[in-house]
């Protein structure tokens, strides 16, 4: 059971779709925080200490890769699993993000099934 999940995307529609998938996958009682870019997300993460962060890759102000690096450099947040969501396909980039500490890199569109798999993996690893 995840109490707090942070969703990061500059698109309100994308955040709504991801939230809907998480709810369908079983997170009915979770509190969802929403950030529009990496900088806003970092402030929310420091304030609320979410148990999972799902972030878009391409965003203005601070992108998902920079957010990931900031989170992994923060001693209080580095253990929080970060899932990067992207519409591009680039194996080298995926390897790079995983090397930096991304829990998973998943492709759009996010579906309830892909989120359910993700939550199962998360549970198994913890």
**Residues at the contact surface with other proteins, assessed by CB under 8 A:** 11-14, 16-17, 58, 86-93, 107-111
- C-beta closer to other proteins: residue 77 or 93: 93
Rounded least distance, CB 21 to other proteins, Å? 8
Adjacency order of strands within the sheet including 52-56: 31-35, 4-8, 52-56, 82-86, 104-107
| Beta-carbon contacts of residue 30 (< 8 Å; ≥ 6 apart) | 1, 2, 3, 4, 5, 22, 23
**Cα 74 off chain centre by:** 16
Q: Between residues 26 and 112, which has the closer beta carbon with respect to other proteins?
A: 112
Least CB distance to other proteins at residue 79 (A): 30
The angle formed by the CA atoms of residues 110, 70 and 3, to the nearest 5 degrees, is: 50
Cβ closer to other proteins: 73 or 109? Answer: 109
Q: Do residues 22 and 32 lie in contact, with contact meaning Cβ atoms separated by under 8 Å?
A: yes
Kindly state the smallest distance separating residue 109's Cβ from other proteins, in Å: 4
Toward other proteins, which CB reaches closer, 80 or 110? 110
User: Rounded to the nearest whole angstrom, what is the least distance from the CB of residue 20 to other proteins in the complex?
Assistant: 9
């Amino acid at each position: 059971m995840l109490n707090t999940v942070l969703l990061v995307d500059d698109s309100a529609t994308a955040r709504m779709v991801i939230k809907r998938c998480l709810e369908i996958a079983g997170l009915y009682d979770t509190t969802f925080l929403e950030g529009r870019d990496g900088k806003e997300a970092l402030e929310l993460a420091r304030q609320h200490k979410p148990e999972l962060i799902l972030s878009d890759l391409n965003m203005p102000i601070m992108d998902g890769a920079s957010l990931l690096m900031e989170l992994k450099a923060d001693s209080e947040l580095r253990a929080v699993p970060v899932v990067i969501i992207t519409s591009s396909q680039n194996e080298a980039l995926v390897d790079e993000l995983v090397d930096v500490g991304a829990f998973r890199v998943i492709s759009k569109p996010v579906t309830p099934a892909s989120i359910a798999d993700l939550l199962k993996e998360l549970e198994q690893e913890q």
